[in-house]
Chains A and B, each alone.
Chain A
Amino acid sequence: MSLWTFFVSHREEILEATAAHLFLVIISMALAILIGVPLGMVLVKRKSLRAFALGFASVLQTIPSLALFGFLIPLPFLGGIGTRTAVIALVLYALLPILRNTVVGLTNLDPAVLEAAEAMGMTESQILLRVRFPLGLSVILAGVRTATVITIGVATIAAAIGAGGLGTFIFRGVAMVSDVVILAGAIPAALLALAADAALGLLERRLRVV
């Protein structure tokens, strides 16, 4: 069976899997941003905690993704089989690039600008929201972009713990020793990653200040 005829005959199934995949990615990214960006803001003024948090996030990312999914299954409340476990694993993965870029974006600024802001009598929170955040936004967004591309890829593995998505085709294809079935999952996943990368890259350039 050719790739094309498989795509045409299974188009509804592929579309459904793509939608499920996107759903996993969007939920996970939203949660990772909601955790990572405020956490990065808190870390701006806490240097010792910053090293610890970044180190912890790095360790999370070194765990092979399949193993991370496996580790989560036996955990009470968080774990088990299905979407919830997959989302937790994906959030943990996306956290590092978002957190790291948030910290870098908010701290790696022209010292003269920060000196002026402080000397003019801006409060810490005014400096954070009016100076650090707008100037660091494109760097933060670069982290979100990296995390999104990673999450789209890693989300294919979520099928292994029953969370669905495009990984279903990949695992089925591996079991059936069918390149066509593997590609039915892999090609849409790759296209999603490319599209997300391009769209977020465009936004990032728009928001760059200098």
Chain B
Amino acid sequence: MNAKPETRADVTIEFRSVEYHVPGTLSHPILSQITLKILRGETVVLLGRSGSGKTTLLRLINGVLSPSRGDVYVNGRAVAEQDPISLRRGIGYVIQEAGLFPHYTVAENVGLVPGLEGWDTKRISARVEEMMRLVGLDPREYAERKPRELSGGQRQRVGVARALAADQPILLMDEPFGALDPVTRTELQREFAALARRLEKTIVFVTHDLREALRLGSRIVLLAAGQVVADAGPEAFLRVDHPEVRAFAVSFEVGSEARA
């Protein structure tokens, strides 16, 4: 990461004492006391077990959910005060199983957001071709296929291409490689790590896989029971003194032994 002092303009996403519980319920909050700054160009991995609140945190960024208390800021402005449609058009989004439109071809899926943004057809098709090559899919072979004619790994590549197509500065990824077999997953993680370094985007990446977090993150934020319990770079993360970090570290070592 760069060493220059942080200025206001460098903060892309900010959580200020955010609390979230499901509206209309008095249940235990899903997130509480979240204060977090994400700088431009960082790849922040939100790590946590199922139910730790990491996906909820992600959905507060693009305004799909609204905080019960506190505020979320994107590009210096409160999410609550921004038009949700134009906010989301400025944020790429990738989810598990890709969420591709089954009635669209690969090219139509990738060109969706540029189309919504009113790009002309020529520019869209050039961009679609570029994006498909970027994620390692030959446009001549795959552009006209439907998602059901692709493997899981290929669908996920299309999902990434779709999220990058409108060249948004922010990318949100919710366990994008979670449903893939281990070999394909590792392959996509490697390629994506290289891609992320080159693209200089602000990326927020949700996972429950410590190995993936260490491989991709320039910073790892660990959530447990709706709170941030650790926040460190990949080298320092495993040395953080917190029971949840140790719990992840133990499962990681057990996993490595089993694979060895």
Residue positions of A touching B, CB distance < 8 A: 110, 112-113, 115-123, 126, 131, 134-135, 209-210
Contacts and interface: CB of A to CB of B under 8 A. Distances in A.
Contacts, number: 60
Given A119-B62, A119-B64, A119-B93, A112 B85 contact: no
Given A112-B99, A119-B95, A120-B113, 15 more contacts: A110-B99, A113-B101, A113-B102, A116-B98, A117-B101, A119-B172, A120-B89, A120-B112, A120-B116, A120-B162, A121-B90, A121-B116, A122-B116, A123-B85, A134-B103
A120 B165 CA distance: 11
A143 to B, nearest CB: 19
A121 B103 contact: no
A75 to B, nearest CB: 43
Contacts of B246: none
A118 B116 CA distance: 12
Nearest to B89: A121
Contacts of A115: 64, 95, 99
A113 B101 CA distance: 6
Nearest to B165: A120
Interface string B141-177: 0000000100000000000001000000000100000
11 contacts: A110-B99, A112-B99, A113-B100, A116-B98, A118-B64, A118-B88, A119-B95, A120-B89, A121-B90, A126-B116, A209-B102
A123 B88 CA distance: 10
A116 B102 contact: no
B99 A121 contact: no
A121 B85 contact: yes
A210 B102 contact: yes
A126 B112 CA distance: 11
A190 B64 CA distance: 51
A112 B89 contact: no
A95 to B, nearest CB: 27
Interface residues of B, number: 26
B250 interface: no
B148 A112 contact: no
B87 interface: yes
B112 to A, nearest CB: 6
Contacts of B148: 210
Please indicate which of the listed interface residues A110, A113, A122 has the most CB atoms of chain B within 10 Å of its own CB: A113
**Most B C-beta atoms less than 10 A away, residue of A113, A116, A135, A210:** A116
B113 A112 contact: no
Contact of A120 (B86, B93, B103): B93
Contact of A121 (B88, B100, B172): B88
Contacts of B112: 120
Contacts of B85: 121-123
Nearest to B163: A120
Interface string B97-113: 11111110000000011
B103 A116 contact: no
B96 interface: yes
Contact of B95 (A112, A126, A131): A112
B88 A116 contact: no
